[in-house]
Structure 1
């Protein structure tokens, strides 16, 4: 179980890094990395709320990044 816990700590580290960033794109990328770790953690540990919530949050971040790139490409 120790290896699974490391995924949770790694995900938390990505979220801590995200909170220290100023650039929104970098923040979202760091948060997505944390979400990927939390999804793996939730799957391996059998914690469905963590798994489902982070899949949803990751989808929102990807959507917002695509939306931002699309709007900046039009400008």
Structure 2
């Protein structure tokens, strides 16, 4: 993947994570945070691979999916 595109994916991941802290609706927070984490996983794969970035963000992504699909409705 083009290194410039990878950089933009990393920046967009940061924007999504920060945006998730601004929102108040729990469902929206989880969705936006999940998108940010997925972007960080993509960024990590194409930048190295950077396992310290990929592993925690991949886990957080699965946690968000779990809570969105099986968790208590907020």
- TM-score over 0.5 for the pair: yes
From 14, 32, 35, the equivalent of 1:33 is 35
Aligned-residue RMSD, C-alpha: 1.2
Q: When the two structures are superposed, what TM-score results if normalisation uses the length of structure 1?
A: 0.85
Partner of residue 10, structure 1:
12
After TM superposition, the runs of 4+ consecutive aligned structure 1 residues lying more than 4 A away are none
Q: Which runs of 5+ in 2 are unaligned?
A: none
Structure-2 residue corresponding to 1:55: 58
Whole-Å separation in 2 of the counterparts to 1:4 and 1:66:
29
**Equivalences, count:** 70
Of Structure 1 and Structure 2, the greater helix share is in: 1
Structure of greater Rg: 1
> TM-score normalised to the size of structure 2?
0.86
Q: In 2, Cα distance between the equivalents of 1:19 and 1:44?
A: 26
